[in-house]
Structure 1
Amino acid sequence: MDIYDFKNALIIGFFMAFMIGPVFFMLIQTSILKGARAAIVFDLGVIIGDLTFILIAYYGSRPLLEKIKDDPRLFFIGGLVLVIYGLITYFNKENKKEALESAKIIEVPIKNNYLKLFLKGYFLNFINIGVLAFWLGTVLVIGPALKMDQTAIFWYFGTILISYFVTDLGKIVLAKKLKNKMTPRVIYRVKKIMGIILIVCGVFLMLKGFIPSEKIDKLIQ
C-alpha cells in the first residue's frame, strides 16, 4: 500500500467518524453519562461490527472480485453503490431528536457493565444494513485497485478503522462540547455535506471505469 492509499484510508476513517446516526449519538451519550472508559468500550464494539461487515463484504464478494478484478465496470458498480448511499444520507430527514430516540432503543445501564456496552456497540452498528452497503461498495472498488493483494487490503481497511477509532477518541474527549453544538441545523448541514462527499467520491469511481487511471489521477492532483 503506497502513501496515496494510506492517506486515502485515513481520510475515509476520519469522515466516517462524523456520519450522523444512532451510533454517533449513543457514543456521545455514553461518554457523558458513563465516562470515557465506557464510551471507548462501546466504540470498540462498533469497530468490531464494522470489521465483521468488512469480512462479510470481502469474503462474500471475493469470487466475483477475482473474476472481474480487471473489468473497469467494477469501478462503476462500486461507485454507484457509494452514490446511492450518499443520496440516502443527503435526503435522510432524521433530525437530532429522532436520532437520539433511536440511540435510546438500547438503554445505558446504571452501573458500568463493559461486556454489555461492547455488545451494544456491536449490535447497534451491525443492525444498520446501510453500513454493510457502504463497506461492500468500498471493497468492490479497493480490492481490484490493490490488485487483490490480501496484505495491502488488510492494511488499507485496518488504517480506515484505526483512523475512525482515533477520531472517535477525540469525540469522546470533547463529548460535552459536541453535544451542545449538535443543534438540528448543524446536524442537517453535516449530513448534507457527508452525502455530497459520498456522491462525489462515487462519481469519480464511476468515471474511473471509463476514463484511464492516468487521466483521473491528473484530474485529482
Structure 2
Amino acid sequence: MMEDIQAAIPLGFLLAFMVGPVFFVLLETAATKGFRAGLALDLGVVLADILFLVIAYFSSFQLLENLSNQPGLYVFGGVILLVYGLTTVFRSDFKGKEPRIVTKGSDYLGLFVKGFLLNFINIGVLVFWLGIIIIVGPSLDNQPDRIITFFSAMLGAYLTTDILKILLAKQLRKKLTRERIGMVKKILGVVLIICGLVMIVKGFLPKDKLSIEKGIELINE
C-alpha cells in the first residue's frame, strides 16, 4: 500500500502544475479574494475530479472510444470557456473599486460551484482520468482498495500542492493595484479564450487524432 501511495504522490504534484484554465483562475482568485476563496474554488475543482474518477472507474475502454467519437462535447465545453474568457476580458476594469475579500458563506458556495463547473465542462478531464485508470489499473491488479488508495493519495497530493499555490498567490495581494488586477484579469481572459479555442478545434479534428494515448494529454487544456 505504501508503494502505491509513493507512486501516486508525484503524479498528484505534477497534476497541480498542469497549465490550464483552472490553474490560472485559482491563482487569480487567491490573489484577489484571499486564501479561503481560493480554497473554496479548489474544493469545487477536486469534487469534479472525484466525480470524473467515479465515472471513469465504473466505465470502460468503450466509453473512452465513444467520447472520442463525440466532438460536440469538446465544442460545447470550448464555447463555454470562450464566452467566459470574453466576459472576463471585457469586465476586467475595476473603475475605482478595491478588490473585495470574500466573507459571506454564499460567496464561498458560489466559488465552489464555479470551480466545479469550470473543471466539469472540460470533457478532456474525463478522458484524462479514463486514460489514467486504463494505464494504472493493471499495475494495481485492478483491486478496488488499491485503486482507491492510489487515487486518494494522488488527489491529496494535488490538493496539498494547490494549497501551497494559494498561499503563495495570496502574498501577491499587497502588490496588486486596481490597474494590475485589471491586467491580471485580462490575461486570465485571454488564457481562457485560447483554451476554449483549443477545445473547439479538437472537436473538429479527425477521430484518429483523439486516440487514448493522446487523450491523457487533454487535462485542463
Category of TM-score, reference length = shorter chain: 0.5 to 0.7
- Describe the SS at the equivalent of 1:12: coil
The structure-2 alpha-carbon separation of the partners of 1:133 and 1:44, relative to structure 1 and needing over 3 Å to count, comes to: closer
C-alpha displacement at 1:123, in angstroms?
0.7
- Describe the SS at the equivalent of 1:182: helix
> What letter is aligned with 1:55?
I
Residue 63 of structure 2: which of 40, 59, 69 is its match?
Answer: 69
| TM-score, normalization by structure 1 | 0.59
C-alpha displacement at 1:201, in angstroms?
5.7
- Describe the SS at the equivalent of 1:43: helix
Provide the C-alpha distance between the structure 2 equivalents of 1:18 and 1:3, rounded to a whole number of angstroms.
Answer: 22
- Aligned match of 1:126: 112
The alignment status of 1:91 with 2:91, answered yes or no, reads no
- Aligned match of 2:3: none
Provide the C-alpha distance between the structure 1 equivalents of 2:211 and 2:13, rounded to a whole number of angstroms.
Answer: 18
Bigger mean CA offset, 88-97 vs 10-19: 10-19
The structure-2 alpha-carbon separation of the partners of 1:170 and 1:159, relative to structure 1 and needing over 3 Å to count, comes to: same
- Aligned match of 1:18: 24
Tell me how many residue pairs correspond in the alignment.
193
Provide the C-alpha distance between the structure 2 equivalents of 1:51 and 1:215, rounded to a whole number of angstroms.
Answer: 24
| TM-score, normalization by structure 2 | 0.59
> What letter is aligned with 1:9?
L
C-alpha displacement at 1:71, in angstroms?
0.9
Cα RMSD after superposing both structures: 4.5
Contact 1:95 1:188 in 2 (8 A): yes
- Describe the SS at the equivalent of 2:94: helix
User: Which structure 1 segments of 5+ residues have no match?
Assistant: 32-38, 109-115
User: Which structure 2 segments of 5+ residues have no match?
Assistant: 1-6, 138-146, 216-221
The alignment status of 1:51 with 2:37, answered yes or no, reads no
Provide the C-alpha distance between the structure 2 equivalents of 1:145 and 1:4, rounded to a whole number of angstroms.
Answer: 17
Provide the C-alpha distance between the structure 2 equivalents of 1:57 and 1:142, rounded to a whole number of angstroms.
Answer: 9
The alignment status of 1:171 with 2:169, answered yes or no, reads yes
User: What per-residue deviation string (whole Å, max 9, x for no partner) do you get for residues 136-184 of structure 1?
Assistant: 5244211221135445654554454344332221111121113456243
Contact 1:83 1:199 in 2 (8 A): yes
The alignment status of 1:9 with 2:15, answered yes or no, reads yes
